Amino acid sequence: MAPGECPRHLRRLEVGRNDRGWASHEEEAMKAQVGDRLVVRGRHVGDGERSGEILEVRGDKGEPPYRVRWDDGVVDLIIPSSDATVRPAGAG
């Protein structure tokens, strides 16, 4: 592994289309801690954001799945997709 490179088991493979056809790239896996906020963008025009507090991190080293208490009080076990971001606890 080269200096500064992320270990392969911590990467997620993303596949998309570029001007020459289908291509893939790797990115670092999502990481969170208990108390952080998970924010999920709406998938359709007019859909609002959904956010909640991460109550439990079940993956290794901060990776999903996460148990989240959404702002409406519902608790779910979730593996977030690319439309989700983690905001550290205490961040605006």
Question: 19-56: b or e for each residue (b if 16 or more CB lie within 10 Å)?
Answer: eeeeeeeeeebbebeeebbbebeeeeeeeeebebbbee
pLDDT for 29 equals 73
Tokens of 32: 């969170």
The β-bridge partners of 78 are 66
Q: pTM for the full model?
A: 0.66
For the stretch 5-23, pLDDT in tens is 544 444 444 444 444 444 4
For the stretch 32-72, pLDDT in tens is 999 999 999 887 788 889 999 999 999 999 999 999 999 99
